[in-house]
């Protein structure tokens, strides 16, 4: 998320750097390792462990078979908010100012309580559709701290329901229709509706 880039010093990985992806679920913790081989990204290691009272123990077990330390984290839950907003066309600078001073119009939290980021999805001569994502600082810092305590370097934060659409569109770039994607977990389901290659609705359902 945008205001975390100073905290996460190596936010952008070199194009060919191997990385881990870590999903800390309510019942299970999932991990995969990805490396670029012959110009293509490949899953070179993966694992799943039952979550324990201290999630660090399960993560350490998953890390026993990899030497990669850079990790991408995916987040979900009540502390994470996704909004699709239609705004008048404006510059990047004006858009950031708008969110800084009018975030309470879109978020149930105070702006000083969250980290946020945004992406312009589409625009025409008068209007633009913007994806706004925000997460409670306390929750995000706890997840980053958890990873750092076991020697991992957090390089990227994403959101479960958006990872769902990104993974699908990466593997099926030719898909231009309307479809609904779902990831059903033990206590929560992630839903993402994609239309013409663009996410237009994302929700966590408990």
98 DSSP 8-state letter: H
Measured CA to CA, the distance from residue 165 to residue 169 in angstroms comes to 6
Q: What is the pTM of this model?
A: 0.82
* pLDDT tens track for 88-133: 999 888 888 887 777 778 888 888 899 988 889 888 889 999 998 9
- Cα-to-chain-centroid distance, residue 67: 23
* Bridge pairing between strands 80-88 and 28-37: unpaired
Q: Dig out the tokens for 121 from the structure.
A: 């999805």
Q: How confident is the model at residue 68 (pLDDT cuts 50, 70, 90)?
A: very high
Task: Please state, as a whole number, how many other Cβ atoms lie within 10 Å of the Cβ of residue 116.
Answer: 22
Question: Which class does domain 80-135 fall in?
Answer: alpha beta
Torsion-angle region of 39 (φ positive above 0: left; ψ -120 to 50: alpha; else: beta): left
Model confidence pLDDT, tens digit, residues 147-204:
999 999 998 899 999 988 988 888 888 888 899 999 888 888 889 999 988 888 888 8
Residue 64, by phi and psi: left (phi above 0), alpha (psi -120 to 50) or beta?
alpha
> From CA 43, how far away is CA 100, in angstroms rounded?
39
pLDDT tens by residue, 25-44:
889 999 999 998 888 888 99
Distance CA 183, CA 12 (A): 27
Cα–Cα distances in Å, from 194 out to 42, 108, 202? 25, 25, 9
**What is d(CA 78, CA 76) in angstroms, rounded to the nearest whole number?**
7
């Amino acid at each position: 998320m945008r205001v975390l880039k100073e905290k996460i010093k190596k936010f952008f990985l070199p194009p060919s750097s191997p990385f881990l992806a870590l999903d800390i679920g309510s019942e299970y913790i999932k991990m995969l390792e990805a490396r670029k081989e012959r110009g293509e990204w490949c899953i070179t290691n993966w694992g799943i462990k039952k979550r324990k009272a201290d999630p660090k123990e399960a993560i350490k077990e998953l890390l026993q078979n990899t030497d990669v330390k850079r990790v991408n984290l995916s987040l979900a839950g009540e502390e994470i908010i996704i909004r699709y907003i239609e705004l008048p066309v404006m510059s990047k600078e004006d858009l950031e100012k708008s969110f800084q001073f009018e975030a309470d119009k879109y978020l149930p939290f105070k702006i000083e309580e969250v980290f946020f980021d945004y992406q312009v999805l589409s625009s025409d001569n008068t209007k633009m559709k913007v994806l706004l994502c925000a997460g409670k600082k306390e929750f995000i810092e706890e997840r980053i701290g958890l990873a750092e305590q076991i020697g991992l370097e957090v390089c990227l934060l994403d959101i479960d329901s958006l990872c769902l659409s990104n993974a699908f569109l990466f593997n099926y770039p030719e898909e231009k229709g309307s479809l609904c994607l779902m990831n059903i977990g033990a206590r929560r389901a992630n839903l993402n509706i994609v239309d013409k290659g663009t996410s237009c609705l994302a929700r966590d359902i408990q």
